[in-house]
């Protein structure tokens, strides 16, 4: 398959599917309620900044995974050629995978924490519980966050595969020196 292995490609496709599913579940989730007999309130992902950021970060991570999938068609040669001739690109791919995994996990954790405030409320700030009134909206957000954490796990595994593919060409005895052929 060229530069990218089958298992890594499968994990990238799987994480991209979960990221896109998360984005769709969060971005298209909305619920309208009639409050106090005359006030209409609509709950969307734009009401919570962490959910808004989650949509954009997960979208960017999905695009990043797709670009990484297609690097096998863009860069000629095998993994050995990539590491010996394009060593700096291999470092860039590894660091990009690491950064994407960490940023997606951080965005998911921030969205989960902000969503917990919507579930429990905060009496000292006089924030009411949102999920008492918008239950379908909250249930769909929980499903989206579960998909997002599955994508985070897949991206962590991809990141470790990427690190392994980079560092297996270096000598274990001398720090960061390439192995001889």
pLDDT tens per residue, range 129-178:
667 777 787 788 889 999 999 999 999 999 998 888 777 767 666 656 66
DSSP, residue by residue, 150-163: HHHHHHHHHHHHHH
90-117 burial code (b ≥16 CB/10 A, e <16): beebbeebbebbebbbebbbbbbebbee
Q: Could you tell me the residue ranges of all domains in the chain? A: 6-167
Tens digits of residue pLDDT in 109-143: 999 988 887 767 655 544 556 677 777 877 888 89
Distance from CA of residue 140 to its chain's centroid? 18
Calculate the CA dihedral of residues 57, 140, 128, 115 and round it to 10 degrees.
-30
Residue 137 DSSP code: H
pTM: 0.80
């Amino acid at each position: 398959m060229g530069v990218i292995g089958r298992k890594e490609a499968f994990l990238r496709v799987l994480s991209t599917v979960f990221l896109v599913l998360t984005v769709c579940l969060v971005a298209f989730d909305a619920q309208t309620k009639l409050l106090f007999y005359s006030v209409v309130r609509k709950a969307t992902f734009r009401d919570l900044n962490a959910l808004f950021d989650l949509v954009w970060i997960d979208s960017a991570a999905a695009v990043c995974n797709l670009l990484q999938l297609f690097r096998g068609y863009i860069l000629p040669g095998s993994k050995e050629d990539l590491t010996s001739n394009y060593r700096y690109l291999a470092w860039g791919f590894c660091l990009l995978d690491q950064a994407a995994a960490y940023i997606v996990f951080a965005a998911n954790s921030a969205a989960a924490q902000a969503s917990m405030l919507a579930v429990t409320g905060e009496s000292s700030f006089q924030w009411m519980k949102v999920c008492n009134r918008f239950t379908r909206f909250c249930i769909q957000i929980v499903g989206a966050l579960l998909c997002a954490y599955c994508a985070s796990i897949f991206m962590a595994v991809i990141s470790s595969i990427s690190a392994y593919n980079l560092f297996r060409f270096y000598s274990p005895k001398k720090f960061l020196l390439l192995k001889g052929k």
